[in-house]
Each structure stands twice: as C-alpha cells, then as structure tokens.
Structure 1
Amino acid sequence: MSGAAPEPMYVQTRSGRMHVVTSGADIDGPCLVLLHQTPRSWDEFRDVAGLIDGYRIVIPDLPGYGASEAPAENTIEATATAVLDLLDTLRVPCAHLVGHHFGGLVAYQMAAEAPDRVLSLVLSSTPFIDAEERERRRGAAPFNAIPARADGDHLAALWRRRAEYLTQSAPDVQARYIRDVLSHSDPDRGTAAVSAYRSEDRLGRYPGPVLCMASARDKRAFPRHGQIMAAFPQAREHVLGDGDISSPETCPAEFARAILDFHAQVVLR
C-alpha cells in the first residue's frame, strides 16, 4: 500500500469511533480516500491501494461496517458527514475521493456537501437515485441477507448468489464478502439508505473533476450507468470491460490504473 505497511487504527470523531486503515502519512502528496460498498469494509480496497503510490491513503470502515461504530442515523448524508469528521480528526483539509457502489453515493454526497474539500471524484458503479429509481427499489427483495438454516445451506446459497455477479471464479473475493455479510445483524441496512437517497437534490453542487467508472459485467449497476454520467456534464467515463460488482477486488490493476490515469490527465495535483 503506497510502498508502506498499512496502519489500522481507531479514531474518535464527532460522529463516533471509526476504524480506518492509512498509509503514506509522511508522503508529501495529496490524500486519496477510498470508500467501500455495502456491506463490505476497508478490505474491499486492499488490493487497489497496494497498487497506488505517491498518495496519503485513507480507507475507512464506513460507520456500521467493519469495525466502525454504527451511526444513530442510517442515511447517506450521515455517512458522508462521518467521513468528513474523520478527515477533520486526521487533519486532512481536502482529498481525492473514490467510491464504489454505496461508497460512490457517499462520495457524491461529500462533494455536494463540501465541494471545496474534494479535489476530484471517482464514482464507480454509483447509482443515481431519483424518484423513478426510488420507486423501482421500493419493496425489493433483500440482496445480501439469507435466513439462517440449521444445516448451513444458507451459506452455500449466499455463495452461489454472489457468484452470479462475478465475471469469473473468485473464491477469495466471495469469502471476503461472506465474512462481511455474516458480521452484520442487518447486511441490507445500507441498501435501505441508498433507496431513500435523493441524488437529484444535489445536482450542480460539485464543479470539479469527475470520473464515472462503469463495470460492464455489473448486472446491478451497468444498465443505468448513463444516469450518473448525465449528472456531471464535466465527467469523463471509463468502462472496465471485465469489471463486475466487486471490481476493486476482481480487477484491481485496471481499477487503480483508471484512477491514476484520470489524475494524470485532468486533475491538478
């Protein structure tokens, strides 16, 4: 990770105690914040971070995930505020943001709430939640939770379901996902927060550089990737041809390269 060993730690913020993994604190370069999807943890970006040099890297367990305390309010807004509070505690005035799925919406909200603190925005498989999308998601079946069964078959069912969304056999990726699912009493709480968000209310608030990263084999996100592009007239797009629901883990080299190329081409560092 940035040529230095990752440093896990707990940080007490105004939004509660958060677990965060950092590297490169002594690097004289910009800060890069990586925000995971639900119900994952910082571990989702472990491989990507190891391929990126020259940054101070900050990867939090978002509130209610991994080893971070659950927030009183289960909303995208509260999560974004918590990450800004974390950056305040770490004395990071501004940063490049990268968010995947749920983490992308958190980054979207951070950019709308505090645009002066966001150097650039990379939104990977990030949904645009407008009235039509909120209605489509209303009453949708749980995506991550499967009721426990005495014979343990729910674990096999969860394994098979996740495999449907991956481009290739990836036992290690599936195992890491299932570990995080099993650590939650409600692994779909993040889905509820996403479904209640109002992306349209934040249009036009962030004028800075944006990269919309789409994963061609992400069955949940790719069919609607044009909507997030339309939200940012200044945005560039990069399509990960082999990308899927877990692109930071299944194609980390291409994911990291897309970030670095974007920064090299359009971001003033």
Structure 2
Amino acid sequence: MVTETMMPVNGIQVCLETFGEPTDAPLLLLAGDASPMDWWDDEFCRRLAAGGRFVIRYDHRDTGRSTSYPAGATAYSGADLLDDAVGVLDALRVPAAHLVGFSLGGALAQRIAVHHPERVLSLTLMATSAGGAGSETAPVTVGGPVTVVAGTVTAGIRTVEAAPITDETDWSNRKAAVARMIAEVRDHGGPFTPDEPQLRRLAERIFDRSADLAATRLNHRLAGYGPPVRDLLGAIETRTVVLHGTLDRFFPAEHPEELARCIPNARLVWLDGVGHEFPPRAVWDQVLHEILH
C-alpha cells in the first residue's frame, strides 16, 4: 500500500513518499514530463532503500495529488519545477541528496547541480539531453485536440505558441486515458517494457490519483524547462553517470554522448534493449548498481 504525505512547498501542496531510514543517505527521484511519482516502481524504490538510501519520490505540481491548475492556465514555469525539487528537500530538512532524474527529471537534476551544487551528492541522468528535455517543437496531448507547442528561446527564456490539431483521446475518460497511456509506453519502449496487465494497473492508478490528465500534459509543456544550462554543465563537479537506452528514439545516441562530454568525468552507460522509458525490471540490477556505487 502506498503511503503518501502532503507537504507545503513553495506556496503549493506537494504529495511525496519516502522509503527507508531517514538516517541513510538521501536520494531524490525526479520523474519525467507530466509524470507523477507512480512511474518510479514501488519495488524499485524499496530496492534502492535496501541499498542504504533514504528514497524520496514526489508528484510534480500538476501531476498526481500535488497542486493542479486548469488546462492552459499555468501559473508556473520550468524554473518553478526546479524550485519544487529543492523545496521537497527543504521540507524534509535534507541538506543534500543523490539525484536520480528521468527525461525532464534529468533536466531538472542538471539545473540543480548547476545552480545549487551544495544540494547534490551525485547525479544519475536517465534518458535525457544536455541542458534540457524535449525538442524545439514537441507534441502535447490534451483532452480533445492535440496541441503542438512551438518553442523559441529569447534571452534564455523559452516561449511557446499553441496550435490545435485533431486527436480523439478523451483524457477525462478512464478507459480511453488508460489505453492511451499503455499505448504510449509500449510505443516508446522495447522488448523489456512491462506487459499490458502490469501497465494497465499502473495507468489506472495514475488516472485515479490525477486531478486532470489533460491539464497535466498541456501545462507541463507550456511551462517549458527553464533557461538553458548547456554551457554551464562544465562546472559540475559531482560524480555523474548517464544512463541511456540503446532503443531510445526520443533522444538518439548523440544526446547522451554530448551530455557525457559536457559534464567533467561523467560516465555514459548504455542500457541494451531499453527505449525511452523508466527502467524496466530486466535492467534493474544494472541500474541499481550504477546508482548505488
């Protein structure tokens, strides 16, 4: 049974959960774009805790049970998502933590390491890119039409414009939303992606914990990812490992290779047969080893 705690962070309510002993070294899990903490598998978290870590996972704002906003009415930016991660550590009175980030979470982890280096014990960057997550033009799925967000960067700030095109997914309908989440995971994954029954249980849990999935998916993309930090990655001194699936089509091989070059002494470790997905069970031993050692 998942035990959740609501805590005030930066003027909002953030839903979080911890595993393990508070006296162990803290480890903060940062989920991907529009992804609640559920994507970090419960057993994966327990195994991290068994490895001597005090594991913290949380719902980004606008995901899960954290504070949500109406679709298109984002009252926050990518910089706020970064501040929320640091705020979670503050709320738990954690001075510094090992950071493990997937996709957008990896982008946030990079920014924390650049702007708050004293809060970072180590970096594990999964399925992400140097200084950011997502391309200049990325599809955003909402309840009803898809919105394509065209991004531009001016003075380090990402601005967006939205233009609707047709999509029939109704994110307020549990059956339709669950089916779409399952299809997306399988499309982005590989031979080790969980089977349909397991994905269905997870997608149903995510739907039931979410206030408004359509708003979640649109608002995170509208928020952007904050000012670019690619040129600042060379200042990172903490131990860094870059984990990347060999079948990741969202961020092809040049992305992790560049990321590993930008961060001094970073190690690039390939996950064979893995797509753009949270680590599937087949590679847990490899991933856990890289995180814990």
- Is the alpha carbon distance of 1:197 and 1:234 closer, same or farther for their aligned partners in structure 2, counting shifts above 3 Å? same
2:154 corresponds in structure 1 to none
- Is the alpha carbon distance of 1:206 and 1:177 closer, same or farther for their aligned partners in structure 2, counting shifts above 3 Å? farther
CA shift, 1:205, in A, is 3.4
What SS does the corresponding residue of 2:140 show, helix, strand or coil? coil
CA shift, 1:78, in A, is 1.1
- Matches of 1:79 and 1:195, distance apart in 2: 8
- The CA deviation string for residues 206-225 of structure 1, in whole angstroms up to 9 with x for no partner, is 21110101011121023322
Supply the RMSD in Å over aligned alpha carbons.
3.1
Check conservation: 1:76, 1:105, Cα contact below 8 A: no
Structure 2 counterpart of 1:13, from 9, 15, 22: 9
What SS does the corresponding residue of 2:260 show, helix, strand or coil? helix
Check conservation: 1:216, 1:242, Cα contact below 8 A: yes
- Matches of 2:101 and 2:273, distance apart in 1: 18
1:43 corresponds in structure 2 to 38
CA shift, 1:6, in A, is 5.6
2:258 corresponds in structure 1 to 227
- Matches of 1:237 and 1:137, distance apart in 2: 24
Any residues of structure 2 matched to 1:182-221 within 5 Å, and which? 183-186=212-215, 187-194=217-224, 197-221=227-251
Moved more, 237-246 or 69-78: 69-78
TM-score (norm. length: structure 1):
0.80
Any residues of structure 2 matched to 1:1-269 within 5 Å, and which? 7-26=3-22, 28-45=23-40, 46-52=42-48, 53=50, 54-70=52-68, 73-129=75-131, 137-138=136-137, 140-142=138-140, 146-148=167-169, 156=179, 159-168=182-191, 170-171=195-196, 172-173=198-199, 176-177=202-203, 180=206, 183-186=212-215, 187-194=217-224, 197-223=227-253, 224-248=255-279, 250-251=280-281, 254-255=283-284, 257-264=286-293
- Is the alpha carbon distance of 1:234 and 1:195 closer, same or farther for their aligned partners in structure 2, counting shifts above 3 Å? same
- The CA deviation string for residues 151-198 of structure 1, in whole angstroms up to 9 with x for no partner, is 977865664444221213621236634764774233143334456641
Q: How many residues were matched structurally? A: 253
Check conservation: 1:109, 1:202, Cα contact below 8 A: no
- Matches of 1:201 and 1:16, distance apart in 2: 31
- Is the alpha carbon distance of 1:174 and 1:198 closer, same or farther for their aligned partners in structure 2, counting shifts above 3 Å? farther
- Is the alpha carbon distance of 1:96 and 1:256 closer, same or farther for their aligned partners in structure 2, counting shifts above 3 Å? farther
CA shift, 1:7, in A, is 3.6
- The CA deviation string for residues 49-107 of structure 1, in whole angstroms up to 9 with x for no partner, is 12221111100111211111148644332111111112111110110000000111111
- Matches of 1:154 and 1:64, distance apart in 2: 16
Moved more, 82-91 or 162-171: 162-171
CA shift, 1:33, in A, is 0.6
CA shift, 1:129, in A, is 4.7
The runs of 5 or more residues in structure 2 that have no matched partner are 147-166
- Matches of 1:154 and 1:89, distance apart in 2: 33
2:163 corresponds in structure 1 to none
Check conservation: 1:20, 1:58, Cα contact below 8 A: yes
- Matches of 1:262 and 1:15, distance apart in 2: 32
